[in-house]
Every structure is written in C-alpha cells, then in structure tokens.
C-alpha cells in the first residue's frame, strides 16, 4: 500500500500549508516536518483524506479516492481533531477507542490493553513503566506517559476495521523522547503498515537519522532497524551524521546510530512557512523479529 | 453501545476535574435559578398589592337625598379601607400630590368636594356625573398605573351600583303605583267594553227589526197604492152605473107591459092550437074503422088478392100520411103550449123586475156615493203609507249606522281593555322585597361568572409555562458553553455521522432532562403549583429540552460559536413571540407568523395544557410540532456531521469570531 501526496497545499502564500509532497509505503515510516499553528493538523487531515487540498493531489495505490483514503488511514492523536480530552481518564479514552474498534469495553479489556502496550513498549526497549495498569488507567490523559499514550492510541487505531495506515500528528507535543515514538512507529511499520509522522523540525532533528525532502516526492529509502535498539539506555539518542546529508531536495536515508550519544548541539533548521517541508522516510529492518 | 460510550466519554470529560464539575453544576442550576427565582418573585403579585402605598383623598362635602343628609365620599372611604386591596393612606390633597411625586405613594385616588352632590343630582333636573380622580406617576411603576386603573374602576363600579340601586328602587316604586292605578283602569275598561258589546248587539237587533219594518211598510205602501187605484176604478164604474141605471125603472115598466101582451097573445094561440089538434086527432082515430070497412067491401068484391093487396097498399099509404101529419100537429101543439107557459113566466118576471127596479136604482146611487168616499180615504192611506215607507228607510239607514258605529266603539273599547290589560301585564307585579332585588340587579346587571375550563392557581402558576420553556432554552444554551457539540474523535475515527450527531445531541438532552426534573421539582414542591398531568408535563418538558438541544446542536455544528450566538438571538426572538405573557394575537403580523413556527410557542402551549389540565389533543399537537423540530434539527446536525466526517475546512479549525 502506498500513499502518495504530490504538492498538496492549503490556503494561499504557504499558509497554513505550503506545497508539500511525501510518499508512504507499507512497512515504512515517513516523517514530515510541520510546525506552527494549523499546519500539522491541516497536513494530517489532508494526508488522511479528511480535508480537500487547494492544490495537488493525494493517492492511495494510485487512486485518488478520498473515501477510500479515510477508510484505510486513521488519524491518530491529532491535536483538537482526534486527541482524547486532556482531563478524562485513560480508561475512559480507551473504552471509547475500543468501542470504535468494536472490541470489548469492559474494565478487564482496558487493563489488558494497557498491559499489552506496556509489554510491547518494554520489548522495544522503551522507558520501563513502574506503575500498574490499574494505576495508569485512572490517570487523566494529560498525565499518561507519552510513549504509552502513543502506543495505545496507535495500536487501537490500527485495530479499527479497515484501517491499514496511520497518520500520527505531532507526537512531539507530549514531550518525552522523539526516539520513543519513533521506535513505536517503526515497530508498527514493521507489521507492513504505512506510517506518516508529522512533527516539528527540532524533534525530527533529534531522531537518529532524518532527511530533508524538497517539495517533491521524496524517494523513500529502506532503513535498517538496529537490533541494539532493544537495549537502548535511558539517555537521549544523538542522531549520527549521515552521508550526503544536507542536500536539500533529496530524500536521504538515515540509519539508527548503534551507540547512544548525548544530544549534540546541532542547531535546528529554521523552516520558513514558504519553504519546502523536509520529510524523512525510514524502513524498519526486514529481519526484525516482530516484522 | 457506541452511542453510550460517546455520551459517557463526554459526561466523564464534563466531570473530570473539580472545576469542571463545579462549572457543570452551576450551568445545570441555571434553569432552576432562572425559573425558580422569577416564579417565586412573581408568585402572587396581585395578592401582595395591599403593600402598595396609595393616597386616598376625600374632600366630599356631602349632599341631601330625599331630605336625608348623605356623604358618599365617606362611605366609599370606609368601604375601601375595609376592603384594603391596596395600602390606602388617607391624606390631604397637598400631601398626596407631594407624595406621588417623590414616590411615597404610587398613585392617588381623589373624591372631590362635589362628589355626593353629583351623585344625588340624578334625582334633580340637572344631572351630572360624579368624578373619581386618579393621579398616577409612571416613574413609580408603570404597572402601578395599570393597577390604579383597575382599583379606580372597582371603586367606580361599586359607587355606580349603590347609586344606581337607589335610583332604580324609586323608579320601581313609581311603577308599582302606576300598576295599581292601571289595574283600576283595566276594570273600568272591561266594564265599558262589556257595555258597548251589549249596545252593539241591541243596535244590530234594532237594525234588523227596522229593516223588516221597512220592508213591511214598503209592501203596505205598494198595497195601499193598488187599493187606491182599485177604489178609483170602482168609483168611476159605480158613477157610470149610476148614470146608466137612472132610466131603469121606466124601461122595466115598458118591458113588463110588452111581456104581459105577449103572454096574453100566446095564451090565445095555445087554445086555438088545442082545438085544431083535437079535430085532427079525431080524424085519425076514424081511419082504422074506415080501413076495416074497405077491407070488408074488398073481401066481398071479386077482386083477386093481388088486386086487393094493391088497393090496400094504396090505402095504407094514405093512412100513414095521415098519421105523420097528425104527429106533427100534435108536436106543434105541445110547443105552442110551452111557449104560452114561458111567456106567462116571463111576464111574471118582468112584472117583478119592474116592481124592484126603483129600489135597485136607489142602491146603486148609494153605492156610488160610498165608493167616492172610499176612494178619497184610500188616496190618503196610500200617501201616508208611502211617507211611512220613506221614513222607515231613513230609520233603517240610521240604525245601521248606529250599529256600525257601536261596533267601532265596541272594538275600540275592547282594544282599550286589552291594551290596558297587557300594559298591566308588562308592569311588573312586585312585592317590596322583589323591588329591592330588582333594583339591585338593575344597578349591577352583569355578574361575571368565570367558569374556567382550566385554571392556573395564581399569577406565578400562570407564568410558569412560559418560564419553564425559557428555562429549558437557557439551560441548554448554558450547557453548550461546556458541552462539546460533537466528538471530533468520533467524527475522525468512525464513518457513522448519524451516530455521532445523535451522541452529540444525547448528552445535552440527558442533562436537559435532569435540568427539567429540577425545575419540575422546584415548581411542584418548592412553589407548590398544582399540576394536572405531572408525568405528562415532565415528559413534555424533557421533550422540549431535548428539542432545544437539537436546535442549538445543529447551530453549533453548522456555525460553531456563531451558531451558539444565534441560539441566543433565537431565544430573544422566541421570548418575544412565544405568547407567554400577552396573548400572541396582540403581536404584530410578522411576529405572529414566527409565533406559529418557532418551537417555544408550542412548548408554552403544551405545558399550559398539561399543567392546567387542558386539551390533551392540543398538547399532543404541540408535542408533534416539537418532535418535528427535533427531527429536523437532528437531520441538519446529521448533514453537518456527515460533511465534517468527509472533509474539514479551515473554518472548522480556526477559532471563530466569538468565544
């Protein structure tokens, strides 16, 4: 399955969304940088077929059918659009999400869902959680750890009938490590789902690798998933300089660094609204045991 | 189930934090506060008018009525102070004028110096109206002026009743006198009518009799005329007879002489004839003997028989002729004898005639004299009877005229009697007590008997349906300040716009039903209003609230906070057009159209029907209208949600102008 956006834009003079292109294939994570007020949401809506772009087009496996796109692509945790209200308890949010998927909404199902998510995150080497599922279930959404939140919302979105691809909007707004949600995204992509992540440039810059794409279709390149990712320590990762990085307009594949590094003071690139939006596409390791 | 989860999530979101719960409770209490406070404050304003300060100024100097001194001003004052429908304060004109300006009094009721004089003037020749003066000041309270008008009207009505009763009573007493006099008049008229009836009958008899008499007199006149003519003829005939019979005695004597001579001649003739006849008879008697001698001669002769027979035949012929001649002689002789006898009788008669003729002549002369007298008398009789007949004719005409005239008199008398009698019937026959009652009725002819089909227990209960409807709208409006119209997550996650719209409506509808339950409790328990169909009314209130929820939901979905603002505009519009206070027919035309269309009008009407026990079919129709709105607004919400499900616009994301 391939989702391809060609020079989609909304509004005029690049506001709220300048012309942006990206491609997401099954089993790949594509990162598109989008910042400022409406831009991430607009892009997320367009990418999931829920807003008509003023220019350009978006196709799913070559067909430009927004209804099909809406059916196959879920919009996860988009601010103001599909995020759970900050005040409600996690259990309430999960009950609603479970009901979207047509699954059991009992308390045991909710706790089981949390337990599964914690387990999967732990397996992926993310920050371990010391609190029990029941404790976490009674937390308001605003206090739920970002990695757990994104894991739960993304997994539950994928479990909805007909949903195959995810658009994850601004996962960086919850804080935490960008590598955490990136890892989760890679894990989900490794199950042959196309994954589009929309985040700010600073977060993108913190990821182990990223490429800056021009306002044209980025060529997605496969990225090996480091096996060492499972043993990541509790320190932020430093993206290793990738060969050929800096050539704007060409999608460059980044690879996870093998060793953890402290955050290096790489200045984030300012991305004016009228500038092209850099995108990064990564492919999880095909040999990943979870794949 | 998804619906329940969506509603549950929204309710959990609304109660997630202490602050949120506080906000929810506060907003949930809005309708209770609004309806409860208003209705409590206006529970019975008319019952509390006794606290409204009103100046009463009585300057009446009094008057006299039927020689008695009266002072209606003081009477009215006593009555008003006893009645105490408002807070009367008796004061002077100047104090009152000052007080009404600085708000000490809401209005002034003044009875001027000539109040009683004017009231008693109705009995005199120059009646004038009494004046109750009302001084109001709208700065005190506009409604106080309205109330003042009502109070003054009550005062006016009560005075009118009293004065009117006295006037009516004296009028009725006058009628009673008229009635007794009229009774006598009726009796007299009855007698008169009876008398004229007999007179008319008599006149009729008289007329009939005179007609008969007149006919008789006419016959008499005609008979007398005929008799007169006859008498004239008799008289002239008798005169002629007298003239003609004057020579009768002399002529009778001559006749007698002639007759005597005839009788004598005839006697001679008869004697002669007798001699002749005897002679002839003797001849005849000799014939047979002659014949026998001849026969004997013949026999003796030798003649043959034939010759003998021939001779005898000849002889017999002569013998027969002799017989015949004899018979004729004998006959003539007998006739001459009769003639002689007759002429002898005639002579005797003429002798008598001659003897009596003078007496006859004298008798005729006497008869002629008598008939002359008779004719003269009959002449007079005929003239008199003619006069009589003419007079009788006049009598007939007169009596006929008399009869006609008397008939007219009689019918006039009958009319007079009947008219007086029916007039008497029209004059009420009343005892003094009845006159008292009648006077009371005339002075206060119309009692307003309010037979209420349904009844609100007081002013507050009367206003309740309007304020319940308003509270329902305000409550829903307030809820939408914190309730999210749609679950955006659900719109994004599911292709079930109808479900999402229904969930968006169900949350405020449930909360609205709770609000309505609280309002219902306040009204029935705290304020103690009577509700005829409690369950029906509560159900209708919940329906009202749910309907308003769909309307504001649809506005929110379509227009965001601008739609919410339009909900406020719509509330103001319905506040004006719902007909909660004045009857909706008092609205200007365009607003009347809005009244028919907008849902709150139906809500007010339906709650009225159910609260006061009115027409349930009307309440059903109102519920139908609300349901129509509910379904329509839900359909609009669904269409808006479907659009959001398919594609958002930037306007959906941008914060709107308001809120």
Which residue of A17, A50, A141, A167 to mutate against B (max B Cβ within 10 Å)?
Answer: A50
B interface mutation test: which of A82, A102, A139, A154 has the most B CBs within 10 A? Answer: A82
User: What is the residue-wise DSSP string for A9-33?
Assistant: EEEETTEEEEEEEEEEETT-EEEEE
Which tokens is B162 given? 């009293």
> Which of B570, B555, B569 shows the shortest CA–CA distance to B504?
B555
Pull the structure tokens for residue B656.
């709107």
In this predicted structure, what is the pLDDT of residue B658?
A: 64
**Which pairing describes strands A2-12 and A15-25: parallel, antiparallel, or unpaired?**
antiparallel
Look at A38 and B13 and tell me if their CB atoms are within 8 Å: no
Structure tokens at A81: 């659009």
**Cα first-last separation, chain B:** 33
Of A11, A50, A160, the CB nearest to B648: A50
A10 interfaces chain B, CB cutoff of 8 Å: yes
Farthest-apart Cα atoms in chain A, separation: 52
Cross-chain Cβ contact A99/B650 below 8 Å: no
| Cβ atoms of residues B417 and B194 within 8 Å | no
Give the residue-averaged pLDDT of A213-235: 40
- Cβ of B490 within 8 Å of Cβ of A41? The answer is no
Least confident of A69-78, A210-219, A231-240, B307-316: A210-219
CA B634 to chain centre: 64
E strand spans, A38-120: 55-60, 73-76
The SS3 call for residue B478 is: helix
Q: Given the structure tokens 């007329």, which residue do they identify?
A: B207
Reported as a pLDDT band with limits 50, 70 and 90, residue A242 is very low
Contact A71 B646 (CB under 8 A): no
Average pLDDT of span A248-273: 35
Residue segments in chain B with a per-residue pLDDT below the cut of 50: none
Instruction: Give the A:B interface size as CB pairs under 8 Å.
Output: 83
Q: Give the residue from chain A lying closest to B642, CA to CA.
A: A50
- Can you tell me the distance from the alpha carbon of B160 to that of B115, in angstroms, rounded to the nearest whole number? 12
Whether A85 has its CB under 8 Å from any CB of chain B: the answer is yes
The fraction of chain A above a pLDDT of 90, given in percent, is: 57
Chain B interface includes A50 (CB < 8 A)? yes
Residue A270, pLDDT score: 36
pLDDT for the residue B643:
93
User: Which residues in chain A have Cβ-Cβ distances shorter than 8 Å to B11?
Assistant: none
**Chain A contact set for B6 (CB, 8 A):** 96
Q: Among B483, B482, B487, B478, which residue's Cα sits nearest to residue B641? A: B487
Please indicate whether, in this complex, the C-beta atoms of A16 and B650 are within 8 angstroms of each other. yes
Chain A CB contacts of B8 under 8 Å are 92, 95
Chain B hits for A67, CB-CB cut-off 8 Å, are: 646
Q: What is the pLDDT of residue A260?
A: 36
State the pLDDT at residue A280: 64
By residue count, chain A amounts to 291
What is the average per-residue pLDDT within A55-78? 93
Chain A interface mutation, best of B7, B651, B653, B654, highest count of A Cβ atoms under 10 Å: B653
Entry pTM? 0.64
Q: In a 3-state reduction of DSSP, which class is residue A58?
A: strand
Q: What is the pLDDT at residue B518?
A: 95
Instruction: Kindly state the DSSP code that residue A266 receives in the 8-state scheme.
Output: P
Answer yes or no: is pLDDT of A71 > 50.
yes
3-state secondary structure of A165: strand
Residue-wise DSSP of B177-221:
HHHHHHHHHHHHHHHHHHHHHHHHHHHHHHHHHHHHHHHHHHHHH
Contact criterion met (CB < 8 Å) for A84 and B489: yes
Q: Is A205 on the interface with B (CB under 8 A)?
A: no
Give the nearest partner residue to A82 out of B492, B647, B650, using CB atoms: B492
Select the residue from A45, A66, A79, A94 to test the B interface by mutation, using most B Cβ atoms within 10 A.
Answer: A45
Q: Which own/partner pairs from B139-144 qualify as long-range (CB within 8 Å, at least 24 positions apart)? A: B139/B103, B140/B100, B140/B103, B140/B105, B140/B106, B140/B107, B141/B106, B144/B52, B144/B106, B144/B107
Q: How many CB atoms lie within 10 A of CB A271?
A: 20
Comparing alpha-carbon positions, the chain A residue that sits nearest to B653 is: A38
Q: What is the predicted pLDDT for the residue at B138?
A: 79
Distances (CA, A) of B600 to A99, B306, B577, B637: 37, 184, 8, 20
User: Which residues, in sequence order, are CB contacts of A144 under 8 Å at separation 6+?
Assistant: A90, A136, A152
A94 band by pLDDT with thresholds 50, 70 and 90: very high
- What pLDDT score was predicted for residue A238? 40
């Amino acid at each position: 399955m391939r989702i391809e956006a060609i020079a989609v834009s909304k509004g005029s003079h690049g506001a709220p969304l300048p012309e942006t292109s990206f491609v997401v294939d099954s089993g790949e994570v594509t990162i598109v940088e989008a910042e400022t007020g409406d831009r991430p949401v607009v892009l997320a809506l367009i990418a999931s077929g829920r807003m008509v772009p003023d220019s350009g087009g978006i196709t799913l496996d070559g067909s430009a059918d927004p209804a099909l796109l809406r059916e196959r692509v879920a919009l996860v945790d988009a601010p103001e659009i599909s995020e759970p209200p900050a005040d409600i308890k996690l259990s309430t949010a999960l009950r609603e999400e479970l009901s979207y998927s047509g699954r059991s909404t009992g308390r045991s199902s909710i706790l089981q869902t949390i337990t599964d998510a914690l387990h999967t995150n732990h397996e992926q080497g993310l920050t371990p959680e010391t609190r029990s599922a029941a404790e976490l279930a009674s937390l308001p959404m605003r206090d739920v750890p970002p990695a757990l939140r994104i894991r739960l919302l993304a997994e539950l979105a994928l479990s909805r009938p007909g949903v195959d691809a995810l658009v994850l909007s601004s996962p960086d707004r919850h804080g935490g490590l960008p590598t955490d949600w990136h890892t989760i995204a890679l894990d989900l992509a490794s199950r042959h789902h196309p994954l589009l992540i929309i985040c700010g440039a600073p977060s993108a810059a913190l990821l182990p690798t990223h490429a800056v794409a021009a306002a044209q279709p980025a060529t997605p390149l496969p990225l090996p998933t480091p096996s060492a990712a499972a043993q990541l320590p509790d320190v932020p990762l430093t993206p290793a300089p990738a060969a050929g990085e800096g050539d704007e307009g060409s999608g460059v594949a980044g690879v996870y660094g093998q060793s953890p590094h402290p955050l290096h003071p790489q200045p984030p690139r300012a991305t004016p609204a009228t500038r092209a939006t850099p995108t990064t596409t990564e492919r999880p390791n095909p040999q990943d045991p979870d794949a | 189930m998804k619906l329940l989860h969506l509603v549950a999530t929204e309710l959990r979101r609304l109660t997630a934090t202490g602050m949120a719960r506080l906000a929810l409770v506060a907003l949930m209490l809005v309708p209770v506060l609004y309806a409860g406070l208003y209705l409590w404050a206006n529970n019975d304003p008319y019952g509390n008018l006794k606290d409204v300060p009103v100046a009463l100024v009585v300057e009446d100097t009094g008057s006299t009525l039927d020689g008695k001194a009266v002072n209606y001003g003081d009477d009215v004052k006593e009555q008003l102070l006893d009645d105490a429908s408002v807070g009367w304060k008796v004061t002077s004109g100047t104090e009152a004028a000052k007080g009404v300006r600085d708000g000490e009094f809401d209005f002034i009721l003044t009875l001027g110096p000539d109040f009683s004089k004017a009231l008693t003037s109705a009995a005199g020749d120059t009646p004038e109206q009494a004046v109750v003066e009302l001084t109001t000041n709208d700065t005190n309270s506009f409604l106080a002026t309205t109330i003042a008008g009502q109070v003054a009207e009550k005062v006016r009505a009560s005075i009118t009743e009293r004065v009117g009763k006295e006037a009516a009573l004296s009028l009725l007493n006058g009628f009673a006198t008229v009635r007794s006099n009229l009774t006598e008049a009726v009796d007299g008229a009855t007698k008169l009518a009876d008398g004229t009836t007999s007179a008319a009958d008599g006149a009729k008899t008289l007329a009939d009799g005179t007609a008969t008499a007149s006919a008789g007199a006419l016959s008499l006149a005609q008979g007398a005329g005929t008799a007169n003519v006859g008498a004239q003829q008799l008289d002239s005939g008798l005169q002629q007879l007298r003239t003609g019979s004057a020579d009768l005695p002399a002529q009778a004597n001559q006749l007698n002489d002639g007759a005597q001579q005839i009788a004598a001649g005839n006697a001679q003739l008869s004697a002669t004839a007798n001699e002749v006849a005897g002679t002839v008879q003797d001849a005849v008697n000799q014939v047979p003997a002659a014949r026998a001698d001849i026969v004997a001669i013949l026999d003796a002769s030798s003649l043959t028989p034939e010759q003998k027979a021939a001779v005898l035949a000849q002889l017999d012929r002569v013998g027969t002729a002799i017989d015949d001649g004899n018979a004729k002689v004998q006959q003539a002789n007998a006739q001459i004898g009769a003639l002689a006898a007759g002429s002898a009788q005639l002579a005797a008669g003429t002798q008598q005639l001659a003897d009596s003729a003078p007496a006859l002549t004298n008798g005729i002369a006497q008869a002629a004299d008598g008939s002359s007298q008779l004719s003269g008398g009959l002449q007079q009789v005929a003239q008199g009877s003619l006069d009589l007949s003419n007079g009788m004719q006049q009598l007939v005409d007169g009596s006929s005229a008399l009869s006609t005239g008397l008939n007219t008199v009689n019918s006039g008398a009958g009319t007079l009697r009947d008219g007086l009698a029916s007039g008497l019937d029209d004059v009420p026959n009343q005892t003094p007590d009845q006159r008292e009652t009648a006077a009371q009725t005339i002075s206060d002819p119309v009692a307003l008997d309010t037979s209420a089909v349904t009844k609100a227990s007081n002013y507050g209960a009367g206003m309740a349906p309007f304020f319940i409807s308003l509270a329902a709208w305000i409550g829903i409006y307030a809820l939408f300040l914190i309730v999210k119209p749609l679950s955006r997550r659900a719109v994004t996650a599911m292709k079930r716009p109808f479900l999402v719209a229904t969930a968006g409506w169900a949350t405020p509808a449930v909360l609205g039903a709770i609000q309505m339950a609280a309002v219902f409790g306040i009204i029935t328990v705290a304020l103690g209003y009577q509700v005829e169909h409690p369950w029906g009314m509560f159900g209708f209130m919940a329906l009202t609230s749910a309907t308003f929820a769909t309307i504001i939901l649809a506005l929110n979905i379509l227009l965001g906070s601008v739609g919410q603002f339009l909900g406020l505009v719509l509330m103001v519009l319905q506040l004006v057009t719902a007909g909660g206070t004045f009857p909706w027919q008092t609205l200007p035309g365009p607003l009347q159209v809005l009244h028919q269309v907008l849902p709150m009008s139906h809500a007010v009407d339906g709650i009225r029907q159910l609260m006061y026990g009115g027409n349930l079919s009307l309440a059903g129709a109102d519920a139908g209208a609300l349901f129509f709105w509910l379904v329509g607004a839900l359909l609009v919400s669904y269409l808006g949600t479907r659009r959001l499900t398919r594609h958002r616009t930037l306007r959906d994301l941008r914060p709107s102008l308001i809120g």
